[in-house]
Structure 1
Amino acid sequence: MKLIQKEQQSLIASQGLNLDGADLSGVDDSNIMPPKNGGESSVRQVFITVSPKLCSAIKDHICRLKRFGTSDVSDQPSILHMHDIMDDLEEFTEIPDSFCDLPHGHYPLTITYHKFLMMLDGTCQTSFFDAFYGEMKSSFERGHSRSRAVQTFIELKEVTYEKFVTFYWPRFNADLTKKFAASTVFTEIISHIKGAYQASRPYTGKLGRQGYVMLADKRFSSLNNEKRDIIYDIFLEYESMKCTAREFDLSDFVNSLHSSLVSEGYNGDMVDFVYIDEVQDLTMTQIALIKYVCVNIKEGFLFAGDTAQTIARGIDFRFEDIRSLFYTAFLPETEASNEGLKHRKRVHLSDMFQLSQNFRTHSGILRMAQSIMSLLYFFFPSSVDKLNPETGLVHGEAPVLLESDNDENAIMTIFGESKSKHGNLHGFGAEQVILVRDDATKKQIIDIVGKQALVLTIVECKGLEFQDVLLYNFFGLSPLRNKWRVLYGYMEDKDIIAHSEEISHPGFDTSKHYLLCSELKQLYVAITRTRQRLWMCENTDDYCRPMFDYWKKLCLVEVRLLDSSLIQAMQTGSSSDDWRLRGIKLFNEGQFEMATMCFEKAGDAYREK
């Protein structure tokens, strides 16, 4: 809303305040921009988010709000459109790859973070991709534009987490990697060794070995000096392999931009306000790039996100780190340009504003989510920002732990034999989903349920929501295995269980239980995908028992036997329109297999193709 308010204030100013008695009581005169373009808003605002799909949705929403604000009621009813993968490429041609003399009609500019990087790169005298001209030469010869050639090159040569795990991790020295998870090492490389903002000059784009190892003493860490020293050895191997393969990661691109902007300066248009959504998906060096395009230190930056949902590979984020970044990077930059001097005595980062009222789900789910946050605060106090518990306006069914009276797989009980045992049931509807840990489990479950239910991984479902969620075998496939028993220590400490119960459990050791942090965050994301009902089932109770005991002691869950009456109550039908709408949403998230199934159920042969 702040973005729209600024647009309206600027528009009022550009019209010379000749409003014939209009009510201006809500307008802050000090924030009204001077007229520039004879009736057009002259404020330059940029909205940035990582997801292309969210970017597209926000762009449409802003357009509707602007039309509404100018009393234009000609807008058609909101229709959810399919956002094809080619739409992401079109973004490279519709908006120039530069902030130099950007036509004012592009503002407010709503772009992905990737596009923001490309525009910064196009503003610099020396492009990061100049070093790879030989690799892109064939694209130029085929008549492709520079933007399209660069995009093709990025798709081929960027080292993502998936490429890191598949092609790099198996080739590292096994003596170095045997004690680490690939995700841990990738996060340390991207977020800390190459992603920690460096205020000193010259800008090198990475921490030295000593600086990285010393992080063990500077912040609450699960990695001691010895482990960090080994990770740095892996990092050096990674950099050598990457250089030989002529590949790059996002941190290389970001750090190259910092170096260019420090040495050359920024020569593009300055913007007045920058808004970043889902900021938890960015590293500190990525966030720091926006200081070059906006020097409105007083109120020019707005960051929104949720540290509990930091499950993006390679990212270790807290809002407290942004506060530190503001004082080490943003404020000195504006003071150097004399913009901050007049505000020096009163410039400060505003207090964090928490959106504590949840309108999406009910209080039962919110209490379970808060129980996970309590564990994160206790075991990993520096990994998340401590916030007040969210509250809901409505009550709902308590989350259900499913138990079977035989050894049969719960998924098989619900879907595999439901027709033969309980009649011709229709399976899950368009507003229901089975959530699993990984692609391998997803394939196994699809083989069982066929087209009776949507199946997604936890990472795939981030940003989506459903009426009902069935979380399958989260603990059974957890890499923590029996280390989940460390939760009993927390329960004893908080008097949730009596010390007399004498439940054996290990003491918490950050070096042994560091994976617990990411496991809890994944669990948080999974359970908060539901608006109404949540069911959890496990193949065995070997690893789930500590968490289930925790929830039972807090009276947060209900245990139910998986019988025919419950199975019937779980399965709901959906109309063709419901399936079509869900198919479009999944298509827009790149979940094409599940989207195709939805269109088939909707009888939409055109979209199914």
Structure 2
Amino acid sequence: MICLMLTAYFSKMLDGRCFLLSSGWRPKKHNVVTSCSRSSQILKKFKVEGLYIVCTPDIAKDLRYIQILKVWDILPLEDIPKLGHRLETILNRYTDDFINLCVEKYLEGDLEVPQSWPLSMEFSRFKDFSVTETQSDFVGDTSDGRSYVENSQVSESLLLMKFYALSSGVVNHLLSDREGRELDLPFEVTDQERDIILHHRSSFIVGRSGTGKTTVLTMKLFQKERCYHLAMQGCYDTENSKVEQSSATTDGKVLRQLFVTVSPKLCFAIKQHVLHLKSFACGGSDSTERSLIDMVDFDEEESQFKDIQDSFRDIPPSSYPLVITFHKFLMMLDGTLSNSYFARFCDAPLTHGQLRSSRSVAFQAFIRAKEVSYERFSSSYWPHFNTQLTNNLDVSRVFTEIISHIKGGLGSIESCNGKLSREDYVQLCEGRGSNLSKQKRDTIYDIFQAYEKLKKGNGEFDLADFVIDLQRRLKHEKYEGDQMDFIYIDEVQDLTMSQIALFKHMCNNVDEGFVFSGDTAQTIARGIDFRFQDIRHLFYKKFVLESRTNKHDERKEKGKISEIYHLTQNFRTHAGILKLSQSIIDLLYRFFPLSIDVLKPESSLIYGEAPVVLESGENENAIIKIFGNSGNIVGFGAEQVILVRDDAARKGISNVVGKHALVLTIVECKGLEFQDVLLYNFFGSSPLKNQWRVIYDYMKEQDLLDSTLPKKFPSFNEAKHNILCSELKQLYVAVTRTRQRLWICETVEEISKPMFNYWKKKCLVQVRQLDDSLAQAMQVASSAEEWKSRGIKLYRENNYEMATMCFERAGDTYWEQRSKAAGLKAIADRMRVSNPEVANSILREAAEIFDAIGKADSAARCFSDLGEYERADIAHLYGLRIARYGPHSSSFTHISSN
């Protein structure tokens, strides 16, 4: 993000000076920064109206390697030495060859013209620390054979700064915003990211949390939009066209790009980012920017897409690129085909013509009431199954087997009814990565049959039923919706094989039109279980081979599938956290090699201190020590969190800390980031209990045991220790939520010992006694703005309880009431089956709050769920008028006055 904080006059002066520099002009006066030795060769300053542009020559990768000027900051003279000192630590890591290329000059008259070199030329930017003779000069602990380029807070890192190419379009875009709002512009990417973005074949992108997967997908989409726009304007670059030969057409055809992600929150962020980028690429006006900013205010998923019909037929060109959730994708596909899945439900409020238009509020309420999620399966179905079947089985594992394998696997796609037979399912025990015996699979199939019978009796459905019906209809009728040119699927680890296979009908451009991105280390979503290699196999079998069958001899030579791209540079956190998370991945590789994709270890240029294992005094509660011993507690700030295993643990901790800290479960925190994380009692609350001692088995193999560690411990048994896989994945998600500091605190020493000993032997953690001084140092105060920002992030994750607390800390009454009402509605939705009378009472309270604060759309949904359709229609009309005329229009009155 670039925020305009300068006067219009200075901006124009800066604009002019930057263009002079980029065109090759250099002032005659010597302008080298001399505050430090290495930078004297490369760091330069140029004066502009009392301030200085501080920059270095650099090398960028494009169609060739080319010299550029990289601007680090614009500062008063007295602040330059401080920046120079920070840059010195980075510049000292540059190789002599790289420095020589940077400072090489090529003159045309009085102008300095950038040099360029072919991509075949090899050079290293940073020195090879493993062979340097002066390792002591570099940052970091070299005991692991590595060293790091920078030692700083991740949030203050110079290496993680975003840089923007200063073109005339960027400058005009910056100067056009007179209100000083943030402008979302395309930033420069790494060489590896650029290679993936410019790769023109269908591809698979896998990377751990924080490696920039979503950035690559978004920029890949934007690159095609930009090339298409240039082609339409007749100024398409000949060389670029060789790279993007399928990206742009000049025959007036609409470029149809589809971006799908599972999370509504991530979808919202991507949609906003993409529309800003498109506005920039197409020279968007002030009114365009304004309409984009209005997107910030949405409550539920359907609110994002109320202007997009539930069909892929005849989508307006202005709606592309189309950025939607997977749920919206299913609804649109259903509306494109004949005989909607929901027509079978006699109480579904469908009316003529609704299959094409966006469905009504009442219909959306019906879907929410009838869909069986994991939460409903666990609370409303599991207790009704025979306990002889459910004993010794984990409800989450059973749901995963039903959704991912029996009803959602590759085999189920090919079966006549979309579901595996008992025989086929039991035979999966002989396949890769199976840790369920034939007997357990038989039992799970019994539960599946009981579930299907009960679900049918309740008149309910799950997402797998919906997908099976879509697959059946697509076998018997041709898809007649818009054909997409390119499809991008993010968070693909949260989809089943059957769900992914739906996309093959949307795009005939199999060779070049698909990009899948995700991370199987983060598959803690209930009901999902696969690896990227599985997607690749699915893509070859269902996309590539079937497209060859449909095309007699057209472009058969393009059947090769791209290799999987691995993103390994982490932009979120530092090396101390990455080494700890890699140690967890190593355990998954050893014990469950077929449950996770094998990647190179992540790297970071940022050094950071090792995570801290906290030790408390005897009979001393660490939470009380941190939050309960003083009347003037600062508490944790908005960028800090306590992570616990489940709701029961969260409620227990919340009772102690009150409003002094955010407390989230591991499932709730997925997709969120914090500066500091306190992981509390993960091992002590683990269902594995003493079975964590199997870690010693791995330590023995790695020669990490010594005389102080146990000699007797269990050997790994896949059937006995199968739950270890999900435990390690949850642990991985938890430790990767932090950008800077991680503290790990346990109440049951014996259970946590194996992992703590493993980490200590690998020198990955430091042990510190929790005293008053450390407890105080852990706490960081936050401003009202920071609390509100965190509250909105939690609100979008549907974590209304913690969001409400944040808004209360921020002193924002409107958002506090809005979050409270949304939380009440969520409670009512969960209770609708078990206690409908109480649920309606809670829902009515939510509706009245939404009404009182002017949230008409949300009030309408609540009234519709209550069956009060007349009042819902009034609220819906009020919401439409707000959208058209604004909340303060005199053309209508408040809902309640009706």
Q: What is the TM-score normalised by the length of structure 2? A: 0.64
Task: Give the structure 2 partner of residue 515 of structure 1.
Answer: 723
1-side partners of 2:670 and 2:581: how far apart? 15
Q: Is contact 1:92–1:148 with CA below 8 Å preserved after alignment? A: no
Q: Is the 8 A contact 1:98 1:121 kept in 2?
A: yes
Whole-Å separation in 1 of the counterparts to 2:451 and 2:539: 31
The alignment partner of 2:515 has SS state of strand
Identity of aligned residues (%): 55
Where does the alignment leave 5 or more consecutive residues of structure 1 unmatched?
none
Distance 1:57 1:355, change over 3 A: same
Task: Tell me the amino acid that sits aligned with residue 249 of structure 2.
Answer: P
Distance 1:97 1:587, change over 3 A: same
Corresponding residue for 1:10?
228
Match of 1:235 in 2: 448
Partner of 1:27: 241
Q: Matches of 2:468 and 2:239 in 1, distance apart? A: 45
Aligned mates of 1:79, 1:429 — CA distance in 2: 27
Within 1, Cα distance between the matches of 2:711 and 2:281? 62
Q: Deviations over 1:456-511 (max 9, x none)?
A: 11111111100000011101111111111111101111112148955321111111
Going from structure 1 to structure 2, the CA distance change for 1:35 and 1:326 (only over 3 Å counts) comes to same
| 1:552 positional shift | 0.6
Question: Whole-Å Cα distance in 2 between the matches of residues 145 and 292 of structure 1?
Answer: 22
Say if 2:274 is the partner of 1:274: no
2:281 is matched with 69
Structure-2 residue corresponding to 1:456: 664
Q: Which moved more, 1:271-280 or 1:502-511?
A: 502-511
Alignment CA distance shift 1:98-1:168 (3 Å): same
State whether residues 9 and 31 of structure 1, in contact with CA within 8 Å, keep that contact through their aligned partners in structure 2.
no
Distance change in 2, residues 1:193/1:34 (3 Å): same
For these two proteins, the number of residue pairs brought into alignment is 594
Q: How does 1:321-336 map to 2 (within 5 A)?
A: 321-336=534-549
Alpha carbons 1:82, 1:585 under 8 Å: kept: no
How far apart, in 2, do the equivalents of 1:94 and 1:581 lie?
A: 27
Deviation of 1:359 after TM superposition, in Å, equals 0.9
Which amino acid in structure 2 is aligned with residue 130 of structure 1? A
> How far, CA to CA, are the matches of 1:473 and 1:296 in structure 2?
50
Say whether the 8 Å CA contact 2:272–2:292 is kept in structure 1: no
Measure the CA separation in 1 of the matches of 2:392 and 2:765.
36
Distance of 1:84 and 1:33 partners within structure 2? 33
Aligned-partner Cα distance in 2 for 1:547–1:241 = 42
Partner of 1:105: 318
Structure 2 CA distance, aligned partners of 1:147 and 1:267?
A: 23
**Which of the pair has the greater relative contact order for Cα pairs under 8 Å at 6+ separation?**
1
Tell me, what secondary structure is at the counterpart of 1:391?
A: coil
Task: Summarize deviations over 1:320-350 as a string: whole Å, max 9, x none.
Answer: 00111012211233123317x4333331221
Partners in 1 of 2:413 and 2:785 — Cα distance?
57
Q: Would the alpha carbon gap of residues 270 and 145 (structure 1) be closer, same or farther in structure 2, given more than 3 Å must change?
A: closer
Contact 1:10 1:32 in 2 (8 A): yes
Q: How does 1:156-175 map to 2 (within 5 A)?
A: 156-175=369-388
CA deviation vs aligned residue, 1:425-448 (integer Å, no higher than 9, x gap): 211111100111111111111110
Letter in 1 for 2:715: G
Structure 1 segment 384-403 matched on structure 2, within 5 A = 384-403=596-615
Cα distance between partner residues in 2 of 1:199 and 1:410: 49
In the aligned structure 1, how far is the partner of 2:479 from the partner of 2:293? 40
| Range 592-601 or range 44-53, more displaced | 592-601
Distance 1:437 1:113 in 2: 27
Separation of aligned partners in 2, 1:359 and 1:32: 28
CA deviation string 1:83-104 (max 9, x = no partner): 5424x22345311111112111
Q: Note closer, same or farther for the CA distance 1:185–1:307 as it changes in structure 2 (3 Å cut).
A: same
Q: Hey, what's the Cα distance between the residues in 1 that align with 2:282 and 2:305?
A: 29
515-524 or 343-352: bigger deviation: 343-352
Relative to structure 1, the CA distance from residue 100 to residue 170 in structure 2 (aligned partners, 3 Å threshold; closer, same or farther) is same
Q: Is residue 369 from structure 1 mapped to residue 581 from structure 2 by the alignment?
A: yes
Aligned in 2, Cα 1:268/1:145: closer, same or farther, shift over 3 Å? Answer: closer
- 1:575 maps to 783
Instruction: Kindly indicate whether residue 802 of structure 2 is the aligned counterpart of residue 590 of structure 1.
Output: no
Which residue in 2 is equivalent to 1:433?
Answer: 641
Matched, 1:472 2:680: yes
Give 1:286's aligned amino acid: Q
> Do the aligned partners of residues 601 and 90 (structure 1) sit closer, same or farther apart at CA in structure 2, a change above 3 Å counting?
closer
User: In 2, are the aligned partners of 1:82 and 1:584 still within 8 Å (CA)?
Assistant: no
Structure-to-structure mapping, 1:20-419, within 5 angstroms = 23-28=237-242, 30-37=245-252, 42-72=254-284, 74=286, 75=289, 83-86=297-300, 88-136=301-349, 146-198=359-411, 203-338=416-551, 341-419=553-631
Task: Name the CA distance, whole Å, in 2 between partners of 1:386 and 1:80.
Answer: 42
Deviation at 1:227, TM superposition (A): 1.4
In structure 1, distance between residues paired with 2:513 and 2:368: 33
Deviates more, 1:369-378 or 1:402-411: 402-411
Q: Work out the CA distance in 2 between the residues paired with 1:360 and 1:200.
A: 38
CA RMSD of aligned residues (A): 2.3
Q: Deviations over 1:4-37 (max 9, x none)?
A: 111122223333x2x3xx7543333622443354
Cα displacement (A) at 1:202: 6.2
Change (3 A) 1:131 1:81: closer
Report the Cα distance in structure 2 between the residues aligned to 1:294 and 1:96, rounded to whole angstroms: 19
Counterparts of 1:244 and 1:378 in 2: how far apart (Å)? 44
Whole-Å separation in 1 of the counterparts to 2:463 and 2:297: 24
User: Contact 1:4 / 1:62 at 8 angstroms: preserved in 2?
Assistant: yes
Q: What's the CA shift string for 1:261-290, capped at 9, x where partnerless?
A: 011121212111110111100000000100
Aligned 8 A contact 2:508 2:547 in 1? yes
User: Which amino acid counterpart does residue 383 of structure 1 have in structure 2?
Assistant: S
SS in 2 for 1:299: coil
What letter corresponds to residue 226 of structure 2 in structure 1?
Answer: Q
Offset at residue 199 of structure 1 (A) = 7.8
SS at structure 2 position matched to 1:350: coil
Instruction: Tell me how far apart the structure 1 counterparts of residues 476 and 783 of structure 2 sit (CA, whole Å).
Output: 59
Q: What is the SS of the residue equivalent to 1:359? A: coil
Task: Report the equivalent of 2:56.
Answer: none
In the alignment, the residues of structure 1 paired with residue 707 and residue 593 of structure 2 have an alpha-carbon distance, to the nearest angstrom, of: 24
CA distance, structure 1, for counterparts of residue 346 and residue 806 of structure 2: 43
Task: Give the direction of change, closer, same or farther, for the CA distance of 1:342–1:488 in structure 2 (3 Å limit).
Answer: same
CA distance in structure 1 between the aligned counterparts of 2:297 and 2:546, rounded to whole angstroms: 38
Report the residue type matching 2:448 in the other structure.
F
- Provide Cα deviations, 1:222-255, integer angstroms capped at 9, x if missing partner: 1122211111111111111111111111100001
Contact 1:121 1:128 in 2 (8 A): yes
Query: Is 1:529 the equivalent of 2:713?
Result: no
What SS does the aligned partner of 2:564 have? coil
Given residue 241 of structure 2, which amino acid in structure 1 is its aligned partner?
V
Amino acid at match of 2:765: V
Aligned residue for 1:475, secondary structure, equals coil
